[in-house]
């Protein structure tokens, strides 16, 4: 299979796992895991990687491999964040009702900013396209707020302490 078809297939897979335009966190984790090999194989050799792999795609005509890499990176960030929230929630739960410890925990974690990360409508990650009307050049990922359970739990903890 030509390499571009592999990227298209992979993006289509993620797309088809959407329900009413929203992605389930579970599907994100599954897709991310299944595509780690493809990402690792491609990260040093995709359409715009010669410029600077750490930057987002600057290709004049966005390529399907660039889009794949960007989607994977965005989902990695999301998963990483949710894992940090999970760790922080578990830390809090282990404090029981020790007021001093809770105060310290609160201080240590006060920099967590929820508002810039997610709003009432959920999380929308829009990967811009350079050319319209090609479904492979743009991808919008929508995740409902309640899907990110540790984000939600941590937010609730902050509101009650």
Site residues (vs Zn ion, CB under 5 A): 47-48, 57, 59, 66
Q: How far is the CB of 46 from Zn ion (least distance, A)?
A: 7
Dihedral angle over CA of 44, 50, 51, 56, nearest 10: -40
In the complex with Zn ion, the residue whose CB is nearer, 140 or 161, is 140
In the complex with Zn ion, the residue whose CB is nearer, 63 or 151, is 63
In the complex with Zn ion, the residue whose CB is nearer, 23 or 66, is 66
Q: How far is the CB of 134 from Zn ion (least distance, A)?
A: 14
Q: How far is the CB of 161 from Zn ion (least distance, A)?
A: 45
Q: How far apart are CA 125 and CA 140, in angstroms?
A: 6
C-alpha separations of 124 from 34, 52, 84, 136, 152 in Å: 22, 25, 20, 18, 16
Q: How far apart are CA 44 and CA 41, in angstroms?
A: 7
Q: How far is the CB of 68 from Zn ion (least distance, A)?
A: 10
Residues making up the chain, counted from first to last = 161
In the complex with Zn ion, the residue whose CB is nearer, 49 or 109, is 49
Q: How far apart are CA 110 and CA 98, in angstroms?
A: 18
The number of C-alpha atoms within 13 Å of 116 and in the hemisphere containing its C-beta is 4
Q: How far is the CB of 48 from Zn ion (least distance, A)?
A: 3
In the complex with Zn ion, the residue whose CB is nearer, 11 or 57, is 57
Dihedral angle over CA of 55, 60, 63, 67, nearest 10: 40
């Amino acid at each position: 299979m030509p390499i571009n078809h592999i990227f298209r297939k992979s993006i289509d897979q993620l797309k088809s796992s959407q329900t009413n335009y929203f992605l389930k966190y579970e599907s994100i984790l599954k897709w991310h895991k299944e595509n780690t090999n493809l990402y690792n194989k491609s990260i040093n050799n995709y359409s715009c990687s010669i410029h600077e792999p750490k930057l987002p795609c600057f290709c004049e005509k966005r390529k399907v491999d660039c889009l794949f890499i960007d989607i994977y990176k965005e989902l990695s960030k999301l998963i990483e964040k949710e894992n940090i929230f999970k760790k922080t929630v578990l830390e809090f739960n282990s404090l029981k009702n020790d007021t001093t410890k809770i105060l310290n925990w609160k201080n240590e974690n006060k920099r967590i900013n929820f508002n810039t990360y997610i709003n009432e409508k959920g999380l929308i990650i829009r990967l811009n396209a350079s050319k319209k009307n090609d479904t492979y050049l743009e991808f919008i990922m929508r995740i409902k707020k309640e899907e990110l359970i540790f984000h939600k739990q941590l937010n609730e903890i902050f509101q009650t302490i």
